[in-house]
Structure 1
């Protein structure tokens, strides 16, 4: 083993970096997807980029209580992770 490189610390840094660098954005994206479910296949969208809608706002499917609960849980995990990271940086001695 090389005395200059601590492989155990390097492994821990790699795992935490992957989890926070890719995992937290993935959880955030999943939460947003749960709050905004896709249209059923084959149905056209009821609006355009300019904001003129041909249908009513109720044509779009809603998430439902389970989707809102899971999205809230995922967003809470993301916020807790951010808070924990800030506390680790601030309280580091």
Structure 2
């Protein structure tokens, strides 16, 4: 019984791409679409235990939104391709 190293390598690479790459792209898309937060100015009369005030969340730039859409589009395309592959017989 011999191991086909080429086939094993292909399975490992495909598993890394699908198992780690697609979720990483989704996480990158979420990070790009999330705005940056900044603490609002603390009132001068606030005591040590009192809250600082509201958190201001800046809107992401158009470039970040485009990057997030590209990431999400790639993830949706990969999921759709997987569904089509399985529905076609999975060979």
TM-score using structure 2 length: 0.74
The structure in which a higher percent of residues are strand is 2
What is the number of equivalent residue pairs in this alignment? 78
- How far is 1:88 from its partner? 1.2
Q: Is 1:69 aligned with 2:30? A: no
After TM superposition, the score normalised by the length of structure 1 is 0.72
- The gaps in structure 1 that reach 5 residues or longer are 45-53
Q: What CA RMSD, in Å, does the superposition of the two structures yield over aligned residues?
A: 1.9
> Which protein is bigger by CA-based radius of gyration?
2
* Runs of 4+ deviating beyond 6 Å: none
Deviation per residue, 1:48-77 (Å, 9 max, x gap): xxxxxx437xx2111111111110010000
